[in-house]
Structure 1
Amino acid sequence: MVNWWWVRHGPTHRRDMNGWTDVPADLSDTLALARLRDFLPADAPVISSDLTRAIKTADAIQSSRPRLPHERGLREIHFGAWEARTFEEVQEEDPRLIRRYWEQPGDVKPPGGESWHELSVRVNRAVDWLTGEAGDIIAVAHFGTILCQLQRARGCTAVEVLEQRIDNLSVTRVSWDGKSWRPGEINHIPE
């Protein structure tokens, strides 16, 4: 059995479409980080996406755990021309496309960006490559990255999984038993 302990990076406090834009996380809540560090398996290796907010969050919870190289395949969805822009700005520019993007996730994508299906294929490829035969992996990543793995475990649609809340510094566990993926804790905030 392989358990993926997905951790969403610390908050960025941004209110824009922040996918591949490399921004820092606010890691000032040291008590929340300590609770998270204590909750996660002590000997599991830690991996993160290659974006600063995930790297620095992984550094903060690593402790004595082994560290794997940053993985570009675990990045957030790429918003392309919408990167670092507010919903309102994009809504003014192309209201039909952004509406389809959120209401019919799948193959719809922003100009120069990626679709939900493309995100899922990219992340699945990285996860499959990293998944061994047994053990635990702590992966610090992003909202979309975690949700596409939860969708895989639940066997639900993108619309259904996008209704799921994934808070910053929360844990979502997904397990591989050698035949199928299964969800465990979802959006768990260690106390």
Structure 2
Amino acid sequence: MAGRRFIVEADGGSRGNPGPAGYGAVVRDGDTGQIIAEDAEFIGHATNNVAEYKGLIAGLKAARKIDPDASVDVRMDSKLVVEQMSGRWKIKHPDMQPLAAEARTILPRGQVKYTWIPRERNKDADRLANEAMDAGKAGRAWEPKARAVPAAPAAPVAEPPLEKAAPKAGWAAPADLGTPTTFVLLRHGETALTPEKRFSGSGGSDPELSEKGRWQAERAAEALVARGSIQAVVSSPMLRTRQTAETVATRLGLEVRYEEGLREVDFGDWEGLTFAEVQERHPEDLSAWLGSAKAKPTGSSESFTTLTHRAGVARDKILARYPGKTVLVVSHVSPIKTLVRLALGAPPDSLYRMELSAASLCAVQYYADGNASLRLLNDTGHLR
């Protein structure tokens, strides 16, 4: 089931710029416009821009706490923050770079869009920022005030036109977006568990590549050397992905960088079992897991919702490190499917409608405006 729709309004202020500063943020229900969460804080001596970024971070965290699957429309009267977070303006100031990086890790990139609004339409966030600065001046922490709750839901908030609509990736994408960052997504080669279709996540035995898996890694390496465009290699730290990535990287003359967020999901008590065995031993848990991205395998601490967040964070870290580059990303079935799903803006249950063979290749391009384009899915031509 798709997540809810939220509107986050955020603002920050500084009395002196720089001077005593604070931020405010509200989360609204996207259908009714009613405020469902608010936050504010006095942050000491800072600039307006730093306070605005702090407000954005607080608003995104508040939305994630309510529903990590929600789609979020961030609305701010800061042209700077909106344009920088949309990828249209570069972030040059060293104080804002880490704040922008933190904001990007809170929710997956495809779930958040940014809209500029005039100051008079951002009154609630501005009010909260001033309340926080007043509290700081008085030497106390901001506390939410009791506010009247309307007897009936507020009228829906009309969607304002985007000041500059984000272009769709694909045929209509303008030519001035620059070189996209390309992820070539490689699933690891076979292990002993793969042909038997046994659950093999990050909570099990961490098997090595089988003889066939090593052969598949070599064939993938040949294909990627022939491709000739790979500029970096990033891999899950699990043994089967390390072995696959190192086989390819050696042929390419590149080093492997490991990213924890690319590891497979933890399947808990299902590790090493076939689907039929799980259905026999844990039928209710399996049914719940197939019905909701928030459900977890028996004995696991991870759902597909959890995976979506960490895979999105891993993606954004790679995008920040290798802008405009072609990066080989070596991972597992679930993280690769999740990255494809996010690129397409598809619902969580689309994961069950994708097939990824061992050592298969996918490719996704990411553009400066935040859009993505799926270029390849489950290519196994190099294994024939």
**Normalization by structure 2: what TM-score?**
0.47
CA distance in 2, matches of 1:50, 1:148: 18
1:184 and 2:375 correspond: yes
Comparing 24-33 and 173-182, the one that deviates more: 24-33
**Closer/same/farther in 2, CA of residues 36 and 13 from structure 1, 3 Å limit:** farther
Root mean square deviation of aligned Cα: 1.9
Of 334, 338, 342, 1:144 maps to 334
Structure showing greater radius of gyration is 2
CA distance in 1, matches of 2:227, 2:328: 8
The 8 Å contact of residues 217 and 244 in structure 2, kept in 1 or not, is answered as no
CA distance in 2, matches of 1:186, 1:174: 9
| Deviation, structure 1 residue 18 | 0.4
| Deviation, structure 1 residue 31 | 6.0
| Deviation, structure 1 residue 36 | 2.7
CA distance in 2, matches of 1:123, 1:87: 24
1:5 and 2:190 correspond: no
The 8 Å contact of residues 172 and 186 in structure 1, kept in 2 or not, is answered as yes
Comparing 84-93 and 72-81, the one that deviates more: 84-93
CA distance in 2, matches of 1:143, 1:93: 23
1:93 and 2:281 correspond: yes
Please state whether the residue corresponding to 2:277 is helix, strand or coil.
helix
Letter paired with 1:155: G
**Closer/same/farther in 2, CA of residues 70 and 144 from structure 1, 3 Å limit:** same
| Deviation, structure 1 residue 91 | 2.0
What is the match of residue 164 of structure 1? 354
CA distance in 2, matches of 1:41, 1:114: 37
1:18 and 2:200 correspond: yes
The 8 Å contact of residues 341 and 351 in structure 2, kept in 1 or not, is answered as yes
1:120 and 2:299 correspond: no
Please state whether the residue corresponding to 1:162 is helix, strand or coil.
helix
| Deviation, structure 1 residue 44 | 1.4
Q: Gaps spanning 5+ residues in structure 1: where?
A: none
Structure 1 residue ranges (4+ consecutive) displaced by more than 6 angstroms after TM superposition: none
1:56 and 2:235 correspond: no
> How high is the sequence identity, in percent, across the aligned residues?
24
Of 295, 302, 319, 1:131 maps to 319
CA distance in 2, matches of 1:177, 1:48: 22
Q: Gaps spanning 5+ residues in structure 2: where?
A: 1-179
Please state whether the residue corresponding to 2:337 is helix, strand or coil.
helix
**Normalization by structure 1: what TM-score?**
0.90
More relative contact order in 1 or in 2 (CA 8 Å, sep 6+)? 1
**Closer/same/farther in 2, CA of residues 58 and 84 from structure 1, 3 Å limit:** same
| Deviation, structure 1 residue 169 | 1.3
**Closer/same/farther in 2, CA of residues 49 and 96 from structure 1, 3 Å limit:** same
The 8 Å contact of residues 36 and 169 in structure 1, kept in 2 or not, is answered as no
CA distance in 2, matches of 1:68, 1:150: 22
Q: Deviations over 1:107-146 (max 9, x none)?
A: 0111223111111101110110121331111011000010
Q: Deviations over 1:147-182 (max 9, x none)?
A: 000000111112223211111111111111022122
**Closer/same/farther in 2, CA of residues 105 and 184 from structure 1, 3 Å limit:** farther
